[in-house]
Amino acid sequence: MTKIVTHKEGALDKYYIPALIVGLKVTLKQFYKTLFLGQSTTINYPEERREYSQRFRGEHFISVDPQKTENCTACYLCQTVCPADCITIVAGERPEDANPYGVKKEKRPVSFDIDALRCCFCGFCEEACPKDAIKLSRNYELATLNRETAVYDLDHLKREVKGRG
């Protein structure tokens, strides 16, 4: 059952001044609290920063091993699961002479792009990854000056970070 709520316009609503005063009351209350009681709701970003949850999902990164080789094996599971279709991987074989790992890391991503403008930060990619390679860090400062830099490539993503970063 849908309940329909209607608001009847009274005589006071016809003039905007009373409504303005009602609104200003909230502003004045916050103004008073901030100025005299020191109970501020805003912070002086970027000098001050909020503490986010450990489970906050921000910018992606791809973890690397001690030799700084990405852990990703280009299995495409993250690309498959991504609901926003923002991961594009090109897989290939690690050149035999440049592969100290043998078969363990013979398949590698030749390129790995994430379009952060499409990403909805659902974390499904992280969930799907069998190698714990792709992860979402707690970095939320993702603003860029143009669209191109919002597409992260492998070099941008590869990071030596412990845990969630």
Partner 1 sequence: MTTSEAPAKPKLTIDGQAVEFQPGDTIMKAAERARMDGTIPRFCYHPGLPVAGTCRMCTVEVEKAPKLMTACSTPAADGMVVLTQSDRVRKSRSGVMEFLLANHPLDCPVCDQAGECSLQDYNYEYGPSKSHFVEDKRVWKEATTKRLSDKLTLNMNRCIHCERCVRFTEDVTKTHELLMDNRAWRKELTTALDEGLFNDYQGNVADICPVGAITFNDFRFHKRVWFLKEKTGICDGCAKGCSIYADEEKDTVYRYRARFNKDVNDHWICDEGRVSFHTYQQADRIVQPLLTAGSTLNATSWETLVPWFTNELKKARRVLILIGTDASSEEAATIAQVLPSFSSADFVVRSWNGTGDGVRTSADDAPLDHLLRRRDQTSNTRGIEGLGIKPWNEAQDQNFDLAIYFRSGRATLPPSMAAKEIAWGVFSLAEAQRFAAVLPGLSTLEKFGTYTNCDQITQSFETVVKGLGGSASVRKILDGMKLKSNTPVREVAGDTI
Residues near ligand SF4 (CB under 6 A) = 72-78, 81-84, 86-87, 89, 114, 119-125, 128-129, 131, 133-134
111 binds partner 1 (CB under 8 A): no
154 contact, one of partner 1, ligand SF4, none, CB 5-8 Å limit per kind: none
Residues contacting 165, CB < 8 A, separation 6+: 61, 135, 137, 138, 139, 159
Alpha-carbon torsion 149, 150, 151, 152, what sign? Answer: positive
Q: Residue 91, interface with partner 1 (CB under 8 A)?
A: yes
Tell me the C-alpha distance between 128 and 132, whole Å.
9
Q: Which is nearer to ligand SF4, 133 or 159 (CB)?
A: 133
Residue 27 is inside which H or E element, if any? helix 16-32
**Would you tell me which residues interact with partner 1 (CB under 8 A)?**
73-77, 80, 91-93, 102-103, 106-107, 130-131
